[in-house]
Amino acid sequence: MAADLLDICCQTSVSAKSVDSQASSGTKLGFTACFLQRVGVCCCCWWVSSSSSCRQWQWLSIGKLFRVAGGVVLCLFLSVYLSKLVLSRANELGRQCILGGGGASSTRESGSFNGGGGGGGSGDRHVDGDVEQGRQRSLEMLRSYRFAMVTCSDGSRTNPQRSFEGLMELVTPNKRSYVARHGYEFVDASDVLDKERPPSWSKILAVRKSLPHYDWVFWNDADSVVTNPAISLEEIIHSVVGDTEPNNMPDFIITKDVTGVNAGMFFFRNSEWSRNFLDLWWNQTAFVQPFGRSKSGDNDALKHLLEVMPEHEQNQHIRIPHMQCLFNSNLWKLSWRSGRRLITMTKTIWQGVYSKGDFMVHLAGLDDKKKLIEEVLHDIEGGERSIRRLKV
């Protein structure tokens, strides 16, 4: 049906080369632009029937226009529904967020993937056994480290649509339950908030204050929830670093989304480099934005520091997982912006969209955060009740 509509709309003598080139590429944007332009021409010709160049359009009645428009709306609705269904079942469809180890790259190599070979052979079982033994040794080493899960919020309503009011009260029980299960510590660092900057900047102070007391600090924004508590922080780090020796560990682990590195969720290792980098990040005062804006400037400051950092330093100290969903899954909600990104950045969306089974969900860039957090927590509680009933 879409192809027929494209023929009707685009194989005419109307001169609109730029729109035609878009439509011929098969993009929805091009098709929509082409269709709307042709409808506009039809309407003109309907009223200016004396124009000989437009008489060919008079066959297109108002009824047919409504049927064509209805068909387009139906196609768009079905595509949106199917996209949402596929994204929500990404893990069931074979996506793997936690890799076997070493599934990360430096900031300048984040487009490459470490391939894993398959194939048979008499030595495969022996090799697999060695790999598993190495993995267990690495996990045991990581389990000897002290981990802290750090967050803070001022409950701000400076941006009403993206208010953080009441979020800490909602997510704190969820995160405290998680750290108690694994023997970590939960730190509410709201006491270090700097009133001179937007609250998002204070994550730097919160991590800097906690870092000397732990081996690893995991920062997570207040608009995030643990959705799969069975996954440990040790497993996440091992998925990134593999069987790395302690003296070769990276110091900073962060994910990328459709906009680049995302400063809402990250790991810092207790090291001199980490402390110096956090101080440097805090001192990027030129990026501080006024209160009430959707962007505070801390994320842009981080991007700048990574862009100007020498490649050898990045390779030594920073890791970016190939899969954003390893610990920073984003909830996908339909909007013009998210729809456009799904079309133009499908692979990146797939690597980061939240799906059942992911470790955490992060509501970055979404409005009505409190309502969405309540929905996520309700879904988690419903799933836990179902599991308990099955066990009984």
For residues 89-105, average pLDDT: 80
Which has the higher per-residue pLDDT, 273 or 50? Answer: 273
101: nearest Cα among 242, 232, 233: 242
Model confidence band, residue 334 (pLDDT cutoffs 50, 70, 90) = confident
The mean pLDDT value for 48-63 works out to 51
List phi, psi (to 5°) of 61.
Answer: -80, 170
Distance (Å, whole) CA 65 – CA 68: 5
pTM: 0.76
Q: Tell me how far apart the alpha carbons of residues 55 and 81 are, in angstroms, rounded to a whole number.
A: 39
- The 10s digit of each residue's pLDDT in 226-284 is 999 999 999 999 999 988 888 889 999 999 999 999 999 999 999 999 999 999 999 99
Please write the tens of the pLDDT for every residue from 140-181: 889 999 999 999 988 766 666 677 888 999 999 999 999 999
Average pLDDT of the residues of the chain: 79
Q: How far apart are CA 135 and CA 13, in angstroms?
A: 65
Q: Structural domains in the chain?
A: 2-69 (no CATH), 104-111+126-391 (3.90.550.10)
| pLDDT computed for residue 30 by the predictor | 36
Q: Is the model's pLDDT at 1 over the cut of 60?
A: no
Residues in Cβ contact with 343 at an 8 Å cutoff, skipping those fewer than 6 apart: 27, 28, 29
- Dist CA 316 CA 328 (whole Å): 23
Distances (CA, A) of 42 to 48, 229, 254, 319, 355: 10, 58, 52, 55, 44
Highest mean pLDDT among 41-50, 243-252, 296-305: 296-305
Torsion of CA 128, 130, 133, 138, to 10 degrees: -100
